[in-house]
Chains A and B, each alone.
Chain A
Amino acid sequence: MAATDARNSRNGGAAWDARAIGEIVAGLAGKPGALMPVLHAVQEYVSYIPPEAVPAIARALNLSRAEVHGVISFYRDFRTERPGRKIIRVCRAESCQAMGAVALAAHIQARLGIDFGQTSGNGDFTLEPVYCLGNCACSPAIVVGDDLHGRVTPERFDEILSGIASARQPR
């Protein structure tokens, strides 16, 4: 999975660097059908796929830029903008709906002050929808950063959120 915690991306979420991306692409270009592994690796490294990296990816894989762009835009996972420091993904599928996911999503949106697909003004959080995390026996489910949570109530979400806030307090 693409790292969902931007701070955990391998370069620490710093600005992307063309040479490192070139090395990632070169390392995977020999695979049959290399584009998906390449895009995942780039996103794991920088936390998104910088549009400026697309021409290099296309060249290395002997594809047109349009083809690469087409693939990036097709898949929900691939981002073209830097996300917030924590990505929060909320399952919106049936099993979670049966256990209160609609109200939970509304609570999360209100708490963070953002809608799905948005990043909070301070850059702390990006909120994304997800359609099934396979945690359906423990619905409703969300992912915060790299951590999967089950049976999440609005109260439990607030606890998770304050856990993040206290972890970020300077010592």
Chain B
Amino acid sequence: MTAVVYVPRDASAVSLGADAVAEAIRVEAASRRLDVKIVRNGSRGMFSHEPLVEVAASAGRIAYGPIAAGDVASLFDSSFLDGREHRLRLGAAEEIPWLKSQTRLTFARVGVIDPSSLGDFIAHGGYRGLTRAIELGAEAIVAEVTKSGLRGRGGAGFPTGIKWKAALNAPAMPKYVVCNADEGDSGTFSDRMIMEGDPFVLIEGMTIAALAVGATQGYIYLRSEYPHARRTLNEAIATAYSNGYLGANVLGTGKSFELELRLGAGAYICGEETAMLESIEGRRGMVRFKPPIPALEGLFGKPTLINNVVSFATVPIIIARGAEFFHDYGAGNSRGTIPFQLAGNAKRPGLIETSMGVTLREIVHDYGGGTASGQPLRAVQVGGPLGAYFPESMLDVALDFESIVARGGILGHGGIVVFDETVDMARMARYAMEFCAVESCGKCTPCRIGSIRGAEVIDDIINRRRPRENLEVLRDLCDTMKFGSLCALGGLTPLPVLSALKYFPGDFGLTPRDVEFIGADLTISGSGAGNGHAIAER
């Protein structure tokens, strides 16, 4: 009988040696004349256990990890193919508390199936959403998405159904569906894990969107930093074409949907949706003025529905199981589950999909286990490079769109980065300005010049050059950036800067009294920010 062994092909697992582990298993099995099939699955997202090897045993999938190539011979010696004991045995994969306590809807198949296998995808519930969508028809699909309460998972949190409705009602043709896969926020990797671990779900979600709004061409705009995702997606797109799920006649409906992967080229700003459209059109990634909104005049001037990877990937389960099913999860106006990504100095980092409204403390301490270094936790940045820094004392904030905005932060794309006590928050504030300067598209002055000036002024404060006067300058500058920038890059860079000042004034050589002015300034106006990326739209 063939034994089936799972070794992730996820980029992070590979970065820890998963390819070498898979090769060692192949060689060892061959030398012991054992019939072993190695499946390269996605990652379960428990990165403290990666490379995580699983065996399909009679008792279910048994996990071992973290496995190095050097451990492989001893695994065979311990009869791991039968799920037997070994010092690195973790037990049944799905019973590991870190995983079991999660609610995996969008990520239900990630780490479970072979991402290159359409058959595996369908056997695990794939394409049920599309089948039902075809029965429903355009209006009913949009109604279902609206009723689910899904809001954009790229970061802006804009109600997905409203966007779909606008694109559906736009009269011009042709229409486009574009997936924003330019996941640029530090501390985020949920898009990547979907694309590498369950690429067909993204294709399915985009196909449903195309049926709903009447689009005939789709693009996935993928950042170039994700070569593994590029390979997995291209494989999956080709498979979907050859099996009639994409192309001139999708599943015999007579409707056509073409899908193409386009690569970015290392520009954070291209996660902002209009800069992304410019880039797909072959230009510099310069942010466009809005209106017109892309749903009416987007790619090549035509109606364009833009969503993030996780948003599209969540649509199939909503359509397959019904809007209520998804809506039953969540808190307040933040419905459903969201994949949080715990990173930085966390002891047990990874992908945590859970109902909206979980507290930051539960993510950082219960899942994360505190810091990786074992030193006291000092700060947590939520929502990517444009998100606020929170001190330990604020970890009880609930992670839903409204609660975090009320505490002066943003949820962004769900990235959570932990820092221990060695962090210098003045330096992190300066970095926020520096990053904005590096990544600014240059179209608007507050962002282009403000960020450079911001870094200089923070340097002056740190170096005790008239710190109080310069604090006034910084305050004005942050105001100008916040209210005068064209997009969220310039508009939200003040958030990490001001939150660092407010909660960690000592790192700047200032007293709490010096920074008393920061209070109301830390609340976000309007719809917040967003994008695989905190900057998708405002």
Contact = CB atoms under 8 A, between A and B. Distances in A.
Whether chain B is bound by chain A comes out as yes
Interface of A: 1-2, 32-37, 39-40, 61, 63, 67, 70-71, 74-78, 91, 93-99, 130-139, 141, 146, 148-151
Given A2-B224, A35-B283, A98-B419, A139 B15 contact: no
A98 B12 contact: no
Interface of B: 11-12, 14-16, 45, 47, 50, 183-189, 191-192, 224-228, 230, 262-268, 279-285, 300, 341-346, 349-351, 372, 381, 385, 415, 417-420, 423, 428, 431, 435, 438-439
B216 to A, nearest CB: 13
Nearest to A102: B427
B50 A138 contact: yes
Given A1-B263, A33-B300, 18 more contacts: A1-B225, A36-B280, A37-B263, A40-B263, A76-B265, A76-B266, A98-B418, A98-B423, A131-B438, A133-B225, A136-B186, A137-B341, A137-B343, A137-B349, A137-B351, A141-B15, A148-B11, A148-B12
Contact of B262 (A36, A70, A76, A97): A36
A77 B224 contact: yes
Contacts of A67: 283
A75 B385 CA distance: 19
A151 B372 CA distance: 11
Query: Which of the listed residues B12, B225, B372 has the most CB atoms from chain A within 10 Å of its own CB?
Result: B225
A36 B381 CA distance: 33
A62 B273 CA distance: 26
6 smallest A-B Cβ distances: which pairs? Answer: A35-B282, A93-B186, A98-B344, A136-B343, A75-B265, A76-B266
16 contacts: A2-B265, A37-B262, A61-B282, A93-B186, A94-B344, A95-B344, A98-B419, A99-B345, A99-B372, A131-B268, A132-B185, A134-B183, A134-B188, A135-B12, A136-B189, A137-B349
Contact of B14 (A78, A94, A137, A148): A148
Contact of B184 (A1, A132, A138, A141): A132
Contact of A150 (B16, B228, B341): B16
Contacts of B14: 148
A134 B11 contact: yes
Contact of A36 (B45, B185, B279, B349): B279
Nearest to B192: A134
B267 A74 contact: yes
A95 B50 contact: no
Contact of B188 (A33, A37, A97, A136): A136
